[in-house]
Amino acid sequence: METSAITSGQASPGGSADLDVPKLDVIVIGAGVAGLYQLYRLRELGLEVRVYEAGTDVGGTWYWNRYPGARFDSESWSYGYSFSPEVLQEWEWPEHFAAQPDTLRYLNFVADKFDLRRDIRFRSRLVAAHFDDKTDRWTVTFEDGHKDSARLLITALGPLSAYTLPNIPGRETYRGQAFHTARWPREGVSLKGKRVGIIGTGATAIQCIQTIAREVGSLTVFQRTPNWAAPLHNRRITPEEQQTIKASYAEIFERCRQTSTCFIHQTDPRNALDVSPEEREAFWEKLYSEPGFGIWVGNFADVLTDKKANELASAFMAKKIRERVKDPKVADKLIPKDHGFGTRRLPLESGYFEVYNQPNVRLVDINETPIERITEGGIRTSAEDFAFDVLIYATGFDGVTGPYDRIDIRGPGGRRLKDDWQGMPRTFLGMLADGFPNMLMVLGPHTARGNIPRNIEEIVDWLSGLVRFMKEHGHRRVETRRAEVDRWVAEVEQAVEGLLFNEVNSWQTGVNRNVEGRQVRRILGYYGGALAYRRRIEAVAVGGYRELRFD
């Protein structure tokens, strides 16, 4: 292997004996969709790379989230990696919206095909990463005490990997089985005939509730905030469709490149307020009857920006809930009142609302009767004691910055990333944190996010280009320039102006009521659209990364 400045650094600070690969170029954290692809690209550059993964195998999000009903809301054939024509031809998605076991199988297939596991160390949860200003290297420490060191640290942590449990008193006193959906046991849980309680009604809970309602004895759903949800319309892919999909990958991915969210759906150029009520209604009926996120990201142009248009869309969705839920009181509880349609990540569902017509399912609005505590036997609200065999926490994640907050990341002079990111994170292009040299982030705050693997491929390709540039020019160190970070943060702030979602609490705006210090909204993504983001990052690369500082 050719020696480069990236590779030619000293061993770890102090040359600690437990650094088993002292000449690593790059350490990647995470072996999910992002980490696997990052490894593949760095190998191509002939670098010494090691991936560390907390789980026992590859898959990331799809490794951890094994709860019943977990599946894509993105079209399967637009979700897989696009970089390998062979993978595209060899792999067959069974359904238009694949279930979690199929996605995990897919990621294993990719890992096997490129022999990726040989560079991955599993069961390695990162607890600390410290940068040494003299050697320009990162030293990382894992939960089991293992240490390692490399010139570059690439974080592929996943924006939704830091799951959060509800801050309800008494959680530890509960004697039955209790699971967070992101830590569902590998061997599964038998729910047949059991009394099950579930807290949460987000995208995860909706998938889980509609799936388990069939087999449980009774299901009690504790809802704090109802969410808008639209039908997924999933079905199996026929052999003919399979052939068409395989023959159309180039067009599918080109289509994804042309939309603002990298899904196949594109915003309609018309405004809801400019068309007649009949035309509006007909379009919404059409979207409601079609698969996927079209109703969210392929809706009229003003639905997510104009309050009046949004109210009309919300009224349409409320009407649908009332049509589907027999008890008007229950229907009313399921209709969001505090946020408009599409202003939070839209869950897609398959028979979710009808679940509440089943005699074994009960909806508890905890705004009316708050949960007072979790007891030995179940949940006590202000009105009633509930007994459960199984308690499910579908209570979400500390989004985007949460996974970083949980690691002791320190830059030059002991500067802590967690302190820096208490408020709005300061990044350049969402890929480099201001003040943290040689740390590169895949899907950190302020990258474009939509159809995640499409975003990941672009970011990983860009980061790999930067690493190649460093190698070719003999650079040992890359860091941000303050003025360029200021400029980027201003662009990020400008991009959310006028977007209704920015006025609503959710993980996308950085709010998690279970996490101290995370009650205030922050901007955690670049929302100017994937095309603008791509133009911006490509210009930096083409211009020779002049916005960054190298040593």
Binding site for ligand NA7 (CB under 6 A): 160, 166-168, 199-205, 224-225, 345, 366, 394-397, 507, 513-514
Question: Could you give the count of Cα atoms lying within 13 Å of 64 in the half-sphere of its Cβ?
Answer: 24
Residue of minimal Cβ distance to ligand NA7 = 202
* Least distance CB 168 / ligand NA7 (angstroms): 6
- Alpha-carbon distance of 145 to 122, in angstroms, equals 14
- Of 26 and 392, CB closest to ligand NA7: 392
- Of 69 and 411, CB closest to ligand NA7: 69
- Of 30 and 166, CB closest to ligand NA7: 166
* Least distance CB 182 / ligand NA7 (angstroms): 7
Report CA-CA distances (Å) from 324 to 191, 318, 327, 357.
26, 10, 9, 9
Residue by residue, DSSP assigns 368-428 as TS-EEEE-SSEEEESS-EEE-SEEEE---B--TTHHHHTSEEE-GGG-BHHHHTSSS--EE
- In terms of Cβ atoms closer than 10 Å to its own Cβ (0-12, 13-18, 19+), residue 301 is middle
* Least distance CB 296 / ligand NA7 (angstroms): 12
- Of 46 and 291, CB closest to ligand NA7: 291
- Of 166 and 435, CB closest to ligand NA7: 166
Residue by residue, DSSP assigns 485-540 as HHHHHHHHHHHTTT-GGGGS-SGGGT--TTSTT--S----S--S-HHHHHHHHHHH
Question: Could you give the count of Cα atoms lying within 13 Å of 329 in the half-sphere of its Cβ?
Answer: 5
DSSP 161: -
- Of 226 and 298, CB closest to ligand NA7: 226
* Least distance CB 107 / ligand NA7 (angstroms): 17
* Least distance CB 239 / ligand NA7 (angstroms): 30
Q: Of 13, 306, 270, 294, which Cα lies nearest the Cα of 138?
A: 13
* Least distance CB 31 / ligand NA7 (angstroms): 19
* Least distance CB 397 / ligand NA7 (angstroms): 6
- Of 200 and 342, CB closest to ligand NA7: 200
